[in-house]
Structure 1
Amino acid sequence: MKRDIIIIGAGIMGLTTAYELLKAGRKVTIIDENDITDSTSFGNAGLLSAFDKGPLANPGIVFNTLKLMIKGESPVNIHPTLDTKIYKWLWKFVNSANKDRLKRTLALFEKYGHISNDAYEKMQNIDGLDLDFQRRGMLSVFTEQKSYDKKLLDYAIKNDDVFEIIEKNKIKEFIPCITNDVKGAIHFKRNTHFDPKRTMLELKRYLKENGAEFILNERISHIKYSDSKIESISSALNTYEADTYVISTGYQTLLADKVNQNLVMTPAKGYSITFKMPKELQPVTSTLFSDLFIVMTPRRDDVRITSKLEIGSTNHQIVKKQIESIKENFKKYTVPFIMEDIVEWTGFRPLTPNDMPLIGRDEKYKNLIYGMGLGWLGMTFGPALASILKDLIVNDLENKNSDDILLFSGFYQGKY
């Protein structure tokens, strides 16, 4: 049986692409090697951080990381490895962290962030998906005076629609568990947050109820192709044929490798800790501890903190030392309280060296589409990028005919 569209990978990119295609009247099959209960998308902080929050590749990242390493607070660990691809990625990352690229990236983040926020709001309010989507902004808390003063210079011109400088004696109104050791805070009003697990499960439910086919716990390992198109894909047990194939496999590049597409991307291991805490101490909205690379997000039933970035790690297990490091850095600036019903998680995020996702049609195999490389911003941009891929497929466009692909895809914005 030949299918219409097969999406390989059921993270946020795969599910939102399926959602957009179903809305456009197409038939979709989603294949994933797991059961969609614990993918990288599930471990996201839930902060949709498209606004007033610098990308990973920013001009100060190298110096700030070294400074935090000396203090023992660094969120980044680079593991020694013989994999030369990682060192090439690091070199490109360092060269991407410049002011010109930062300006361009921030403008793109805002453009596509608005699209994603509106899409999530529509899913919740019109389609009835319970995402716990909240438009409450993001509180950025600073633990270093120098970085706070620098940020104040960037926001010296008053703009009540975008941000508010929070007086120190009022910070506890936003995050009651904070100590007086923080130097200051800014409330950025355009950011939003939701519950990633709830969102993934709700998308899965909606897709199934509206006709999407799910083939789970089956790993696609082989691609058969002709000169100009993909003929079929196979697992160890089955072969599947479709008119169009979408690869959305997160950090895993096996299938792209098989069609000789060298994706400039590396897996970056991150951690989250989900727990219950006294209601009176919970933050009002997502809080970014800017100098610690820690995000704290309130949800309906609990709270989640996320941090750490390990480059070069191949260990899929939770490293207790990393979890304890997150807790120690977090506790330096919060009042004592007991974390209850703790759930620890780790997973790999697919990072490109310049924060640009790898989206678009394969130049050789015209029925093959990529939706990858979203890094730590998968939840933030998933719906916006899914809409771009939907237009590409439904209107049978080439990459050059999509302004969005030319603007926001690492295939075309990949110069370092």
Structure 2
Amino acid sequence: MKREIIIIGGGIVGLSCAYFLQKSGKQVTIIDENDITNSTSFGNAGLLSSFDKTPLSYPGVVLNTLKLMLKGQSPAIIHPTLDLKMYKWLLNFILSANEKRTKKTMMLFEKYGEISLKLYEKMVKEDSFDFDYHRTGMLSVFTEENSYNQKLKKYNYIDEERFKILNNNELKEYLPSATSKIKGAILFKKNAHFDSKRVMLELKRHLQEVGVEFILNEKIENIRVENNKVKHLVSSSKIYEAEQYIMSTGYQTLLASKCNRDLTMIPAKGYSITFEMPKEFIPKTSTIFNDLFIVMTPRRDNVRFTSKLEIGSSDTKVVLKQIESIKKNFFEYNQYFEMKNEELWCGFRPLTPNDIPLIGRDEEIKNLTYAMGLGWLGMTFAPAIGSIITDLVVNDKKNAQSDDILLFSGFFQ
């Protein structure tokens, strides 16, 4: 049976593509190697951080990371490897850490982040999704005097709709667990947060109800290309054929390499801790500890930490040493409390060196489109990516005919 559109990968980007394609009248099939209950999207902090949040590669990141390493607080861990691709990625990452690149990236973040937030809000209103969505801003907390002062230099003006520099009393109102070790905090008002697990489950439920086909626990092992078109996909036991294919395989690049695409993207392992905390300590909104790379997001029934950036690791298990490091770093600047009913998770984020996603049509394979490389920002930009990919496919556009692809795709940066 020949299908209309097959999406390979059922993370937040794959589901978002399916959502908008189905809305446009297309018949969609999602194939995923798991059952879509514990993917990287499920472990996301739920912070939609497109406004006033610098990318991973920013001026001074290397020096700042080295300083945190000396203090034993660095979130970044680089494991030695013989894989030259990782060192190529690191070089590009360092080259991207300049003022010009950072400014451009942040402008793109704002443009497509606002599009995504509006689309999330529309989805909640029109389809009654329970995302536990709140547009109450992002609290940005600084534990290093230097990084706080650098941030203040950039926000040395008044814009009450965009941000507010908090005094100590205001900080305690937003972050009751804060101690005097924290050097400063800024509330950035345009960001939002939600429960990533609810988002994934709600989207999956809705897509099933409207007729999107799910083929789960099915790993696609090969992709057959003939005459500049994908002929079919191959699993261990079946062949799947469609008119159009969308590759949304997260950090996994095997299928892309079979299409002669060497993607500048690596897997970066991250962790989350989901737990119940005393009500008097629950933060008022999603909070990012900038110097520690810890995000803490309040949810309806619990709170979630996300942190760490392990590069060069292939270990799929939770390393308790990393969990303890996250806790140690957090409690260095916050009052101690008991974390009850902990749920530990780890997964791999698909990172590009400049945080710009790899989206758009393959330049040679006519019926193949990529929707990859969102890294830690998959939840933040997924609706925008889904709508961009839908516009390409439904209207049979080339990359050059899409301003969004030319602006926001790493293939054209």
1:91 aligned onto 2:91: yes
Q: Give the superposition deviation at 1:371.
A: 0.3
The answer to whether the Cα contact below 8 Å between 1:295 and 1:307 also exists between their aligned partners in 2 is: yes
Distance 2:259 2:190 in 1: 40
Distance 1:28 1:195 in 2: 26
Distance 1:219 1:291 in 2: 38
The answer to whether the Cα contact below 8 Å between 1:75 and 1:308 also exists between their aligned partners in 2 is: yes
Give the counterpart letter for 1:102 in structure 2. T
Per the alignment, in what secondary structure is the counterpart of residue 82 of structure 2?
coil
Query: Which residue matches 1:142?
Result: 142
Query: Which residue matches 1:288?
Result: 288
Query: Which residue matches 2:231?
Result: 231
Per the alignment, in what secondary structure is the counterpart of residue 171 of structure 1?
helix
Distance 2:223 2:306 in 1: 36
Q: Give the superposition deviation at 1:398.
A: 0.5
Aligned residues: 413
Give per-residue Cα distances to partners, 1:243-300, cap 9 Å, x unaligned.
Answer: 0000000000011011111111000000010000011110010001111111100000
Query: Which residue matches 2:202?
Result: 202
Q: Give the superposition deviation at 1:148.
A: 1.1
Query: Which residue matches 1:28?
Result: 28
Structure 1 segments of 4+ aligned residues over 2 angstroms from their partners = none
Q: Give the superposition deviation at 1:217.
A: 0.2
Q: Give the superposition deviation at 1:227.
A: 2.1
1:70 aligned onto 2:70: yes
Q: Give the superposition deviation at 1:302.
A: 0.2
Distance 1:97 1:237 in 2: 45
Query: Which residue matches 1:106?
Result: 106
Query: Which residue matches 2:412?
Result: 412
Per the alignment, in what secondary structure is the counterpart of residue 309 of structure 1?
strand
Give the counterpart letter for 1:121 in structure 2. E
Query: Which residue matches 1:386?
Result: 386
Distance 2:353 2:186 in 1: 28
Give the counterpart letter for 1:18 in structure 2. A
Give the counterpart letter for 2:158 in structure 1. K
Query: Which residue matches 1:4?
Result: 4
Query: Which residue matches 2:321?
Result: 321
Using the size of structure 1 for normalisation, the TM-score is 0.99
Q: Give the superposition deviation at 1:355.
A: 0.8
Query: Which residue matches 1:353?
Result: 353
Distance 2:181 2:169 in 1: 12
Per the alignment, in what secondary structure is the counterpart of residue 410 of structure 2?
coil
Per the alignment, in what secondary structure is the counterpart of residue 130 of structure 2?
coil
Per the alignment, in what secondary structure is the counterpart of residue 316 of structure 1?
coil
1:258 aligned onto 2:251: no
Give the counterpart letter for 2:22 in structure 1. L
Using the size of structure 2 for normalisation, the TM-score is 0.99
Distance 2:38 2:63 in 1: 34
Q: Give the superposition deviation at 1:185.
A: 0.7
The answer to whether the Cα contact below 8 Å between 1:359 and 1:409 also exists between their aligned partners in 2 is: yes
Give the counterpart letter for 1:197 in structure 2. K
Per the alignment, in what secondary structure is the counterpart of residue 360 of structure 2?
strand
Give the counterpart letter for 1:45 in structure 2. A
Distance 2:244 2:70 in 1: 50
Distance 1:365 1:59 in 2: 37
Query: Which residue matches 1:191?
Result: 191
Q: Give the superposition deviation at 1:150.
A: 1.3
1:306 aligned onto 2:318: no
Give per-residue Cα distances to partners, 1:361-386, cap 9 Å, x unaligned.
Answer: 00111100000000110000010011
Distance 1:264 1:148 in 2: 32
Q: Give the superposition deviation at 1:405.
A: 0.3
Q: Give the superposition deviation at 1:333.
A: 1.1
Q: Give the superposition deviation at 1:233.
A: 0.5
Per the alignment, in what secondary structure is the counterpart of residue 347 of structure 2?
strand
Give per-residue Cα distances to partners, 1:82-119, cap 9 Å, x unaligned.
Answer: 11110111011101111111111010000000000011
Distance 1:158 1:256 in 2: 47
Distance 2:350 2:373 in 1: 5
Query: Which residue matches 1:214?
Result: 214
Give per-residue Cα distances to partners, 1:312-369, cap 9 Å, x unaligned.
Answer: 0011111111110000000111111100000010000000011110000001111000
1:119 aligned onto 2:119: yes
Distance 1:200 1:243 in 2: 26
Q: Give the superposition deviation at 1:123.
A: 1.2
Q: Give the superposition deviation at 1:303.
A: 0.2
Q: Where in structure 2 are there 5+ consecutive unaligned residues?
A: none
Query: Which residue matches 2:375?
Result: 375
Give per-residue Cα distances to partners, 1:170-202, cap 9 Å, x unaligned.
Answer: 211001111121111110000000000000000
Give the counterpart letter for 2:400 in structure 1. K
Q: Where in structure 1 are there 5+ consecutive unaligned residues?
A: none
Query: Which residue matches 2:297?
Result: 297
Give per-residue Cα distances to partners, 1:40-63, cap 9 Å, x unaligned.
Answer: 000001000000010011112111
Give the counterpart letter for 1:30 in structure 2. I
Q: Give the superposition deviation at 1:145.
A: 1.5
Identity of aligned residues (%): 63
The answer to whether the Cα contact below 8 Å between 1:168 and 1:183 also exists between their aligned partners in 2 is: no
- RMSD of aligned residue pairs (Cα, Å): 0.6
Distance 1:29 1:297 in 2: 33
The answer to whether the Cα contact below 8 Å between 1:112 and 1:384 also exists between their aligned partners in 2 is: yes
Query: Which residue matches 2:153?
Result: 153
The answer to whether the Cα contact below 8 Å between 1:232 and 1:240 also exists between their aligned partners in 2 is: yes
Give the counterpart letter for 2:66 in structure 1. L
Q: Give the superposition deviation at 1:169.
A: 2.2
